[in-house]
Structure 1
Amino acid sequence: MPGATTTRETLWAAAHTERAALADDLAGLDAARWALPSLCGRWSVEEVVAHLTAAASTGPLRWIASVVGARFDFDLHNQRRLAEHRGATPAETLARFRRVTTSTTAPPGPTAAWLGEVVVHAQDVRRPLGLPHTPPVETVTAVARFFAGRDFTVTSRSTIRGLRLEATDGPFATGEGPLVSGTTLALTMAAAGRQAYCDDLTGPGLPVLRGRCSGT
């Protein structure tokens, strides 16, 4: 697996694949399901999709201008960009998302972070909807390794500090301390603060990780 999903080009290709898979999964949802709460804070399924469209439509200069315009209130910045890219109907929101499937536009930051944005937010909506999809292990491993290395869009490094994480379906392993094990996807989602995925994990370090997720 070394190098399998580590170049900028392969990271973007993986992001494009996961965007397309999510768009296909969401086709045909009725209005009630689009309005369901996601795993991402107060946002609904539709709002998360609009947020993904915004992320794929906002380059560095526009991102900086938006953040400055929001007086560095990142919640306000995200809400404004979400509203900009949300359609008048869920069908329009989905159509807008499909149009950015192959975009390489992104705010400032490493490409692995924007692959992580797609992987995490896709599961934020799939889990409540009961839509089964697991990205390729090499795709999620690239995100897991990035999350283990730094706090960026999520406080992942802080969330897993002092714990040993080991994937049961791939090569990902990191840290020292009480063990937490499970699929690469479950470990990645928990590192991103999604407490629901702690139910898919085991090990003596799990109570610590679950407690940290509950506070994010």
Structure 2
Amino acid sequence: MRQAIPSTATQPLELPLAGATAARDALWSATHAARAALADDLAELDDTQWAQPSLCGRWIVEEVVAHLTAAASTGTVRWLTSILGARFDSDLHNQRRLVEHRGATPAETLERFRRVITSTTAPTGHTAAWLGEVIVHGQDIRRPLGLPHTPPVQAVTEVARFYASRDFTVASHSTAKGLRLEATDGPFATGAGPLVSGTTLALTMAMAGRHVYCDDLTGPGVPIMRARCSP
């Protein structure tokens, strides 16, 4: 049966004007809604689609889902233990955790992901980054499969601002450096230099290194961004 998406999945994210705790809670709420929406889409996939390549390097769709489950199940201590055990090789760390949280079948992998939909566990307190994990990896899955979905602009705006401010899980700040980014569907705008414009989602995905989203951007700065996020 198709899982119902909580109403927050289709509502704009309203970030409080004051209070770090309230703002963090709003980001977690958006994260939970994004996970629920993705789980709803995944429920409709057949085995062939689960095995399709994603936009995330060599990972297939099922592996990306297992990675998201791992991210929502790994706190600071567990993350430190894992990364130390992998001798700071993030690829090895991610692969080990992915294997740990992947099921014997796609249905089991999906069930494990459903269990962490409302999790607030994360390696660090950078909540916007973990919202970004779900938004970016959700599109890593949906775009190759042709699944239509546009996350709420205000939620994506928070991720875009975080990505533009620093290199964290992705080299997003480096990708945007020296460019003027302007969203065509929301308030996100940052930087100075050759202009790159497009939807907030396209800008965010390009900052995350997903080069195919450069096709959705316009402006004289696009060739520079495309070169920086090419595989």
**Post-superposition, which runs of at least 4 consecutive aligned residues in structure 1 deviate over 3 A?**
none
Give the one of 83, 89, 113 matched to 1:73.
89
| Aligned residue number for residue 181 of structure 2 | 165
TM-score relative to the length of structure 2: 0.91
| Aligned residue number for residue 27 of structure 1 | 43
Amino acid of the structure 2 residue aligned with 1:143: V
SS in 2 for 1:181: strand
| Aligned residue number for residue 115 of structure 1 | 131
After TM superposition, list the pairs within 5 Å mapping 1:1-216 onto structure 2.
Answer: 4=15, 7-215=23-231
State the superposition RMSD in angstroms: 1.4
Cα distance per residue 1:5-63 (max 9 Å; x no partner): 78100000000000000000011311111011100000000000000000000000011
Amino acid of the structure 2 residue aligned with 1:163: L
SS in 1 for 2:193: coil
CA-CA distance at 1:106 after TM superposition: 0.6
In 2, the alpha carbon distance for the partners of 1:139 and 1:28 equals: 25
TM-score relative to the length of structure 1: 0.97
In 2, the alpha carbon distance for the partners of 1:38 and 1:179 equals: 29
- Percent of pairs identical after alignment? 76
SS in 1 for 2:209: coil
- Structure 1 residue runs of 5 or longer lacking an equivalent are none
CA-CA distance at 1:108 after TM superposition: 1.9
CA-CA distance at 1:109 after TM superposition: 4.0
CA-CA distance at 1:3 after TM superposition: 6.6
Residues 209 and 230 in structure 2, CA contact (< 8 A), matched pair in contact too: yes
Amino acid of the structure 2 residue aligned with 1:95: E
In 2, the alpha carbon distance for the partners of 1:2 and 1:11 equals: 8
The count of corresponding residues between Structure 1 and Structure 2 is 215
